[in-house]
């Protein structure tokens, strides 16, 4: 006589569904063998992964380790991008794709679901062919709905990650999946607790875990439009939900009060998993009674566990399967319009508009157009040709209008306003974290009569500078975040041979900068840095060393930041800066830092370590500075302020909001 077959049914509920992991742990502890799993939405994710062999401990680790803000968006993962793409992505608050090939098949949602699709694709390695779900280590089914006809779709076979993705396509949030003439959305709209499906599959005993919110009363619904809309959906499926509760042999109702479908933070997930376990333990006598009916040989411990899989190659993955299915899984599209916005008390407001379009099928064959509006205004056009073997030919032109002041010992000494023309041709080889660039640059700085001294309001005799430069740049970046890194390092080195086109003698420039992040726990990070630059001439303005501010390369590409000099100074031909920042994270998004840095500058690098310089600063000088900084991580970028001081300038403050550009 065949033994009874046990099914576990997992409801939908967004983040609340992480409670299923805790409930599954207790079901295992009770010795209940699981012969099949049926899930909807989040229940289909956890159920599908459990069905192919992931243990509850592994599911716990996977869900706690995810960056859910990125996962539930279409923003490309940093570790899946090369160096150039990371730099570009760190500037924009909004990206709108266009000319997307599968757009007609995956549309209608705020989120296309690339990152959640990527995660499902990685975690279901080995189940990417069209298969019978009943032949998986634990038979499985998940629920979706056809938006065209309203028909309930039960996936008992197919491509596992696609079936799960269809089951969680919340209308208006995640884009639906187009397959076989159907437009598939979240199954929770029609059957969020699918016990009846488990019965149809032959289950004799059904253990159900329900993480849905209870129906709300009039007071809770009043003046809450979102609660009213959710209640309308709940009312439509209420009868079926109650019928499915009646069909359950064990009904585990999880208390999810205080949490919602978007509670995807580690504290909430940990708490919800605990609540799931608590709810299951309230039924422990019933579960153990079921478990005692089966032989120990029915244990699920021996089932195979799939390997963790990480797809490291960036770019789009276009997968095609039988049944007219075409879905894009991978990075955000390369055809996009992007917007950046920032504010600071030095430049006030600035806007950045960018458009990038991929040309042809090669991944790195594209055009990039950028316009910046603000006190510093520029227009930029770059063309990139993929030569193969990670080599690219890059050509570009940028026009910049700049207007700012130069300071000395905290006092304004020069006003400078100029037009800058920049053209380049070069060859770039890119790896995941490394970039090598070789090429030539043409630069023209047109000052007109606008370079003048404030002390006597007199213009200088410099009206124009132009150069041909030939050289190389090398960069390595393994930092895990552009603005709040916790690990990794960054190294950049550059050398150029510059030929002035006004007949002056050619000269050399060399620069280096290194910074790193070392975390001692999840909240405290130390970030040392060392950088410097040397040039072999004094007969230049545009190529002189520049020091000050908090952002590298803000006005000139060679600008080195220094906490304690908020403005812009031009030190000597040799310049070295060293510093360290101690940063403490408070809560989830608040950061407080203490910073110390020192600079040494001289026309002779051998003088760097002299104990003192002449009072007139002609031979060089040292600067000591520090700052206290607060930042809040937001979707528009860091928002915060800095109070800084140095022995060369007065105490000053800096306020900023937005990404650097």
Of 590, 607, 592, 578, the residue nearest 516 (C-alpha): 578
SS3 call for 630: strand
For all residues of the chain together, what is the average pLDDT?
84
In the DSSP assignment, the letter for residue 607 is G
Out of 38-47, 213-222, 339-348, which region has the weakest mean confidence (pLDDT)? 213-222
pLDDT at residue 283, rounded to an integer: 94
Q: Give the residue numbers marked as catalytic.
A: 41, 186
Of 502, 501, 505, 647, the residue nearest 565 (C-alpha): 647
Q: Percentage of the chain surpassing pLDDT 90?
A: 49
DSSP lists the bridge partners of residue 417 as 403
Split at pLDDT 50, 70, 90, the class of 333 is very low
Listed in order, strand segments (DSSP E) in 69-130 are 94-97, 109-111
pLDDT at residue 656, rounded to an integer: 93
Cβ 120 vs Cβ 62: under 8 Å? no
Round to whole Å and give the CA distance between 43 and 167. Answer: 9
pLDDT at residue 109, rounded to an integer: 44
Cβ 543 vs Cβ 510: under 8 Å? no
pLDDT at residue 308, rounded to an integer: 46
pLDDT at residue 298, rounded to an integer: 59
Round to whole Å and give the CA distance between 127 and 51. Answer: 11
Helices (H), 6-101: 19-29, 42-51, 56-65, 68-71, 83-89
> Among all chains, which residue has been given the structure tokens 């159907």?
182
Split at pLDDT 50, 70, 90, the class of 262 is confident
pLDDT at residue 365, rounded to an integer: 82
Out of 99-103, 245-249, 347-351, 483-487, which region has the weakest mean confidence (pLDDT)? 99-103
Residue 413: pLDDT above 90?
A: no
Residue 325: pLDDT above 80?
A: no
Round to whole Å and give the CA distance between 545 and 571. Answer: 6
Mean pLDDT value across residues 601-617: 63
Round to whole Å and give the CA distance between 552 and 558. Answer: 8
pTM of the model: 0.65
In the DSSP assignment, the letter for residue 188 is G
Phi/psi of residue 14, nearest 5 degrees: 65, -135
Out of 134-138, 296-300, 315-319, 640-644, which region has the weakest mean confidence (pLDDT)? 315-319
Residue 284: pLDDT above 80?
A: yes
pLDDT at residue 311, rounded to an integer: 36
Residue 144: pLDDT above 90?
A: yes
How confident is the model over 54-70, as pLDDT tens digits?
A: 999 999 999 998 888 77
Q: What tokens appear for 528 in the block?
A: 């040392």
DSSP state letters, 294-346: S-GGG-STTS--PPP------SEEEEEETTTEEEEEESPPSSEEEEEEEEETT
Cβ 198 vs Cβ 3: under 8 Å? no
pLDDT at residue 567, rounded to an integer: 81
Residue 319: pLDDT above 60?
A: no
**Can you list the domains of the chain with their CATH numbers?**
6-74+112-296+318-329 (3.40.1090.10), 347-658 (2.40.160.50)
pLDDT at residue 490, rounded to an integer: 96
Cβ 81 vs Cβ 364: under 8 Å? no
Cβ 93 vs Cβ 658: under 8 Å? yes
DSSP state letters, 451-516: -EETTTTEE-S--EEEEEEEEEEEEEE--S-SSS--SEEEEEEEEEEEEETTSPPPEEEEEEEEEE
Mean pLDDT value across residues 274-283: 95
Largest CA-CA distance found in the chain, in angstroms, rounded: 105
How confident is the model over 195-239, as pLDDT tens digits?
A: 999 999 999 999 999 998 777 777 766 777 777 777 777 777 778
Out of 83-97, 346-360, 419-433, 477-491, which region has the weakest mean confidence (pLDDT)? 83-97
Round to whole Å and give the CA distance between 161 and 155. Answer: 11
Out of 18-22, 185-189, 279-283, 515-519, which region has the weakest mean confidence (pLDDT)? 185-189
Mean pLDDT value across residues 137-143: 95
Q: How many residues does the chain have?
A: 661
Residues 6+ apart with CB under 8 A from 576: 530, 531, 532, 599, 600, 601, 608
Angle formed at CA 243 by CA 237 and CA 248, multiple of 5 degrees? 120
Q: What tokens appear for 519 in the block?
A: 């975390």
Round to whole Å and give the CA distance between 144 and 513. Answer: 53
Of 430, 371, 331, the residue nearest 89 (C-alpha): 331
Of 587, 620, 590, the residue nearest 602 (C-alpha): 620
- C-alpha distances in angstroms, 261 versus 173, 211, 224? 12, 10, 16
How many CA atoms, within 13 angstroms, populate the side-chain half-sphere of residue 72? 17
Of 352, 313, 359, the residue nearest 334 (C-alpha): 359
Listed in order, strand segments (DSSP E) in 107-249 are 109-111, 131-132, 140-146, 152-155, 157-158, 172-174, 177-179, 182-186, 205-210
Helix pair 19-29, 42-51: axis angle to 10 deg = 40
Q: What tokens appear for 394 in the block?
A: 């890059």
Mean pLDDT value across residues 299-311: 46
Round to whole Å and give the CA distance between 31 and 11. Answer: 22
Residue 101: pLDDT above 80?
A: no
> Strand 559-560 vs strand 546-547: parallel, antiparallel, or unpaired?
parallel
Residue 84: pLDDT above 80?
A: no
Mean pLDDT value across residues 540-562: 89
Residue 90: pLDDT above 70?
A: yes
Of 426, 513, 528, the residue nearest 476 (C-alpha): 513
Mean pLDDT value across residues 176-182: 82
pLDDT at residue 3, rounded to an integer: 81
Q: Percentage of the chain surpassing pLDDT 70?
A: 84
SS3 call for 373: strand
Of 634, 566, 622, 632, the residue nearest 598 (C-alpha): 622
pLDDT at residue 531, rounded to an integer: 96
Residue 522: pLDDT above 60?
A: yes
Residues 6+ apart with CB under 8 A from 203: 5, 6, 7, 35, 36
Split at pLDDT 50, 70, 90, the class of 629 is very high
- Of 227 and 326, the structure prediction assigns the larger pLDDT to 227
Cβ 323 vs Cβ 180: under 8 Å? yes
DSSP state letters, 3-22: PPPEEEEE---GGGGGHHHH
pLDDT at residue 93, rounded to an integer: 86
Residue 173: pLDDT above 70?
A: no
């Amino acid at each position: 006589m065949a033994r009874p077959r046990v099914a576990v049914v997992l409801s939908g509920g967004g983040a609340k569904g992480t409670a299923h992991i805790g409930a599954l742990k207790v079901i295992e502890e009770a010795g209940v063998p699981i012969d099949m799993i049926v899930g909807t939405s989040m229940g289909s994710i956890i159920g599908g992964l459990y069905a192919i062999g992931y243990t509850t401990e592994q599911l716990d680790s996977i869900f706690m380790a995810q960056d859910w803000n990125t996962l539930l968006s279409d923003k490309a993962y940093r570790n899946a991008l090369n160096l150039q793409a990371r730099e570009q992505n760190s500037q924009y608050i909004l990206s709108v794709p266009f000319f997307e090939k599968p757009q007609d098949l995956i549309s209608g949602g705020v989120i296309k679901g690339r990152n959640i699709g990527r995660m499902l694709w990685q975690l279901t390695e080995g189940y990417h062919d069209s298969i019978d779900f009943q032949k998986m280590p634990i038979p499985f089914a998940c629920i979706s709905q056809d938006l065209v006809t309203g028909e309930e779709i039960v996936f008992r076979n197919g491509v596992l990650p696609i079936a799960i993705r269809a089951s969680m396509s919340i209308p208006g949030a995640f884009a639906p999946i187009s397959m076989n003439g159907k437009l598939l959305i979240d199954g929770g709209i029609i059957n969020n607790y699918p016990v009846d499906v488990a019965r149809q599959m032959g289950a004799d005993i059904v253990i159900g875990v329900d993480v849905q919110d209870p129906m709300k009363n009039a007071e809770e619904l009043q003046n809450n439009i979102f609660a009213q809309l959710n209640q309308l959906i709940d009312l439509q499926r209420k009868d079926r939900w109650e019928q499915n509760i009646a069909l359950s042999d064990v009904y585990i109702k999880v208390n999810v009060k205080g949490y919602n479908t978007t509670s995807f933070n580690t504290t909430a997930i940990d708490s919800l998993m605990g609540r799931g376990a608590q709810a299951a333990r309230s039924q422990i006598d019933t579960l153990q009674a079921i478990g005692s009916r089966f032989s120990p040989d029915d244990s699920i411990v021996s089932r195979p566990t799939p390997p963790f899989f990480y797809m490291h190659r960036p770019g789009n993955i276009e997968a095609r399967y039988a049944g007219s299915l075409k879905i894009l899984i991978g990075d955000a599209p390369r055809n996009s319009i992007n917007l950046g916005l920032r504010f600071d008390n030095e430049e006030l407001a600035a806007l950045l508009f960018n458009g990038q379009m991929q040309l042809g099928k090669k991944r790195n064959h594209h055009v990039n157009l950028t316009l910046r509006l603000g006190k510093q205004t520029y227009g930029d056009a770059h063309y990139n040709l993929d030569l193969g073997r990670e080599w690219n030919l890059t050509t570009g032109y940028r026009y910049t209008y700049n207007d700012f002041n130069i300071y000395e010992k905290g006092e304004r000494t020069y006003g400078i306003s100029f037009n800058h023309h920049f053209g380049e041709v070069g060859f770039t080889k890119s790896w995941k974290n490394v970039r090598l660039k070789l090429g030539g640059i043409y630069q023209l700085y047109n000052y007109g009569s606008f370079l003048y001294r404030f002390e006597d309001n007199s213009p200088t005799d410099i009206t124009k500078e132009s150069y041909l430069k030939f050289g190389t740049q090398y960069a390595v970046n393994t930092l895990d975040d552009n603005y709040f890194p916790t690990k990794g390092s960054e190294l950049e080195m550059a050398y150029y041979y510059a030929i002035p086109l006004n007949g002056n003698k050619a000269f050399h420039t060399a620069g280096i900068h290194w910074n790193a992040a070392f975390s001692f726990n999840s909240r405290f990070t130390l970030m040392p840095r060392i950088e410097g630059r040397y040039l072999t001439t004094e007969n230049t303005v545009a190529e002189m060393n520049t020091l000050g501010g908090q952002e590298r390369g803000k006005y000139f590409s060679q600008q080195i930041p220094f906490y304690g000099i908020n403005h812009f100074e031009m030190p000597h031909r040799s310049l070295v800066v060293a510093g360290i920042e101690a940063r403490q994270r408070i809560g989830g998004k608040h950061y407080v830092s203490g910073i110390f840095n020192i600079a040494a500058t001289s026309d002779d690098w051998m003088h760097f370590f002299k104990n003192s310089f002449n009072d007139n600063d002609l031979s060089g000088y040292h600067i000591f500075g520090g700052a206290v900084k607060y930042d809040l991580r937001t979707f528009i970028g860091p928002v915060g302020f800095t109070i800084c001081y140095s022995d060369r300038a007065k105490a000053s403050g800096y306020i900023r909001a937005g990404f650097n550009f």
